[in-house]
Structure 1
Amino acid sequence: MGWKRINLRDEQTNNSKPGRRWELSPILEIDAFNLNVAILNPDERLSENHYHYHENQKELIHVVEGKCQVEVEDDQLVITTDDVIMFETGSKGTHLVHNPFSDPAKVIAIGWPPEGRYPVEKVAKKSEILGKSNE
């Protein structure tokens, strides 16, 4: 067979990560990149590493539904349904994707190359850059 179909409702989520996250690369036997789908409820962040970067991996986030806030070195932006944002490797790509809004957000996250996921450099906790004490 030259194709593979899955439904997220039939797959397990990774409970050790923030949000409700499906890590699809292993399921779909994808070796070229890391593919994740995540649902972020209000006040959840996408990464367990808070405000971070990968020395050897680029990341792309596509908002499927809802909206998220993105913290980068010199800006703060809101990304909404159908927006796509890409983060470069190294410290110039430092970012935090989180949901400070009242409705859940569904995102697709792609990182490449897959072996560049680690090491990840945590720059600051979410609470440190947002001035909140809940994390």
Structure 2
Amino acid sequence: MPKIFNENNLCFEPKQSPIPEFSWHTSQRLSEVVQSDNLYFDVRSLDPDKYSYPYHFHRNAEELFVIISGKAMLRTPNGFDELKKGDIVFFEKGPQGAHQLYNHTEEPCKFLDIRTNNGMDICEYPDSNKINILPDVEVYPNSQRVDYYKGEENVKDKWNID
């Protein structure tokens, strides 16, 4: 059954990180309300002089922003662009889809955030060289990467076959 969302039935909760510059308000995860299998979506409100999530890209999810009201600066690998009401921005998988918003105005910027849900995703943060395994939010330094066969030496010793 169709479900209509609008300002009359959206409730926003503040989300504050330990770093004050990363702060926003988000609606209840609307995709959970409708029990969506393939999309995550919610509405976010980015306050003035605040940043969205750290600069990042997804390995296994595409993302789409629809600016509902206000303005924000968008950072991508191509530089910076000002987004305004009515703009729709698509972020592809991989480093070329890296993005971050900053509200450079004195008014909130509301936007619809839609992401594909393929069960599991890896999110990478180029500024801090981290990876995040989603949906479990397991964050690791990317510098800890090892060779695929590291620690697999002496495989015969692990088989205990007589």
**Cα shift at 1:100:** 1.8
Given that 2:16 and 2:24 are in contact with CA atoms closer than 8 Å, whether structure 1 keeps it comes out as: no
Given that 1:35 and 1:109 are in contact with CA atoms closer than 8 Å, whether structure 2 keeps it comes out as: yes
Number of positions where the alignment pairs a residue of Structure 1 with one of Structure 2: 119
**Cα shift at 1:121:** 0.5
More helix by share: 1
User: Which residue in 2 is equivalent to 1:124?
Assistant: 127
- 1:8 and 2:10 correspond: yes
Given that 2:63 and 2:90 are in contact with CA atoms closer than 8 Å, whether structure 1 keeps it comes out as: yes
**Cα shift at 1:114:** 4.8
* Structure number with bigger Rg: 2
**Cα shift at 1:40:** 0.6
Q: Distance in 2 between matches of 1:108 and 1:124?
A: 25
TM-score, normalising length: structure 1: 0.78
Q: Distance in 2 between matches of 1:74 and 1:4?
A: 36
Q: Distance in 2 between matches of 1:24 and 1:98?
A: 23
Return the match for 2:40 from 30, 34, 41.
34
Given that 1:38 and 1:46 are in contact with CA atoms closer than 8 Å, whether structure 2 keeps it comes out as: no
RMSD: 2.0
User: Which residue in 1 is equivalent to 2:69?
Assistant: 65
Given that 1:25 and 1:35 are in contact with CA atoms closer than 8 Å, whether structure 2 keeps it comes out as: yes
CA gap of 1:62–1:113, structure 2 versus 1, over 3 A, is same
TM-score, normalising length: structure 2: 0.66
Q: Distance in 1 between matches of 2:3 and 2:95?
A: 36
**Cα shift at 1:73:** 0.9
Matching residue's letter, 1:21: T
Unaligned runs of 5+ in 1: 126-135
Q: Distance in 2 between matches of 1:83 and 1:21?
A: 19
Unaligned runs of 5+ in 2: 18-22, 129-162
Return the match for 1:21 from 19, 26, 43.
26
Identity %: 24
User: Which residue in 2 is equivalent to 1:46?
Assistant: 52
Q: Distance in 1 between matches of 2:90 and 2:36?
A: 20
Q: Distance in 1 between matches of 2:55 and 2:124?
A: 9
* Partner SS state of residue 43, structure 2: strand
